[in-house]
């Protein structure tokens, strides 16, 4: 299994590697985290264009942390 994608540190390319996340959604995630660091993966649903269905498909592939160590 691949390492989980950290919503607080992932590059645009890493975000786009997730199923259902294209260029515009990756940019929206990055803009959201600039204003509000993610405290939980569930906050991804607050990003424009990402709802429950996309979140449910991705939740096991996501993590949040404030460090770049992992």
CATH number at residue 18: 1.10.150.320
Look at residue 68 in the predicted model and tell me its pLDDT. Answer: 52
Per-residue pLDDT of the chain (70 residues; tens, 9 = 90+): 568 999 999 999 999 999 999 999 999 999 999 999 999 999 999 999 999 999 999 999 999 987 554 3
Look at residue 3 in the predicted model and tell me its pLDDT. Answer: 80
Look at residue 70 in the predicted model and tell me its pLDDT. Answer: 39
Look at residue 57 in the predicted model and tell me its pLDDT. Answer: 95
User: Is residue 45 domain-resident?
Assistant: yes
The whole domain housing 40 covers 5-63
User: Is residue 68 domain-resident?
Assistant: no
List Cβ neighbours of 42 (8 Å cut-off, separation of 6 or more): 55, 59
User: Is residue 70 domain-resident?
Assistant: no
CA distances from 18 to 15, 44, 61 (A): 6, 13, 8
Q: How many domains does the chain have?
A: 1
């Amino acid at each position: 299994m691949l390492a989980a994608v950290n919503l607080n540190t992932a590059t645009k390319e890493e975000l786009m590697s997730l199923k259902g996340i294209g260029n515009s959604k990756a940019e929206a995630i990055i803009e959201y985290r600039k204003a509000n660091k993610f405290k939980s993966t569930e906050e991804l649903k607050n990003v424009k264009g990402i709802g429950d269905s996309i979140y449910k498909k991705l939740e096991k592939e996501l993590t949040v942390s404030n460090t770049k160590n992992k």
